[in-house]
A and B are shown apart, each in its own frame.
Chain A
């Protein structure tokens, strides 16, 4: 099994793994938020003064529970990535989620995208590209001990 063998070797931090992990974080995060949004449709309007009863209702909603579960998986993936990547690398890279969401909305929901929005998507894409060129880690050597 490849997954077993790789645990015994120090592999170079591959670009493929970085991108796969970022894509996984972004897709699970978007899916989780979508489930939360679907769930909140059947809840009363949010009010901080009744936070406890709102949370009580939310935690009995199947969509919201599913959303929390998917977001927890996303969060686990992000925490794992932070064991071999800088925070200042991971955070801007996950902004590619905005590109993903915009393209999905355009392709599947036929959402109109204004010139300004396309410009924003272009800037985010260029920013993500620049950050991706810096490599995931500046603080400690790959495979070496933590700082």
Chain B
């Protein structure tokens, strides 16, 4: 059961971030920190299908993570879901065409291993 929660938490969260990133990129660079700019961004977020789907997938991931915490220790749940860092990077490279050079790969692997270490 706990591996099902792990799978849903990691995969739904990664796909959610992928969809959100894809949707937000189509808005173009936002520098607005005025209320009118923020209102415009919120209108975009709540009407863009990919962003909404991304938020929904992240909500599923969040509830699944709570479920995981109810059947396992924090010291299992936190490091195992750090796999999400790797999966997000792989998905961003494949589907968003982001250029992941050796520094990014090394950085994200170090982060994932570091999360594993602080949780044991």
Are A91 and B45 also in contact (CB < 8 A) when A82-B20, A124-B114 are?
Answer: no
Are A123 and B25 also in contact (CB < 8 A) when A7-B32, A134-B104 are?
Answer: no
A7 and B31 form a contact (CB under 8 A): yes
Contacts of A3 in B (CB 8 A): 33-34
B51-78 contact mask (Cβ, 8 Å, vs A): 1 or 0: 1000100000001001101100000000
Q: How far is the CA of A138 from the CA of B89 in the complex (A)?
A: 13
Does more than half of chain B's interface fall in helix, strand or loop, or is it mixed?
helix
A95 and B85 form a contact (CB under 8 A): yes
Other than the given A4-B34, A83-B29, A146-B26, 10 more pairs (CB < 8 A) read: A79-B51, A88-B88, A88-B108, A92-B111, A95-B114, A124-B118, A127-B109, A128-B111, A130-B103, A138-B99
Q: Is A145 an interface residue (CB 8 A)?
A: yes
B31 and A87 form a contact (CB under 8 A): no
Which residues A87-125 have CB closer than 8 A to chain B?
Answer: 87-92, 95, 98, 102, 116-117, 119-125
Which interface class (under 10, 10 to 19, 20 to 34, 35 or more) fits B? 35 or more
Q: Is B107 an interface residue (CB 8 A)?
A: yes
Tally the A-B contacts, defined by beta carbons under 8 Å: 160
Contacts of B12 in A (CB 8 A): none
Contacts of B118 in A (CB 8 A): 98, 102, 116-117, 120-121, 124
Residue of B with least CB distance to A119: B117
Nearest CB of B to A45, in Å = 7
CB < 8 Å neighbour of B27 from A6, A83, A117, A131: A83
Give the A-binding residues of B (Cβ under 8 A).
17-18, 20-21, 24-34, 37-38, 41-42, 45, 51, 55, 63, 66-67, 69-70, 85, 88-89, 91-93, 96-101, 103-104, 106-111, 113-120
Q: How far is the CA of A127 from the CA of B55 in the complex (A)?
A: 27
B66 and A127 form a contact (CB under 8 A): no
Q: Is A41 an interface residue (CB 8 A)?
A: no
Contacts of B37 in A (CB 8 A): 7
Nearest CB of B to A144, in Å = 8
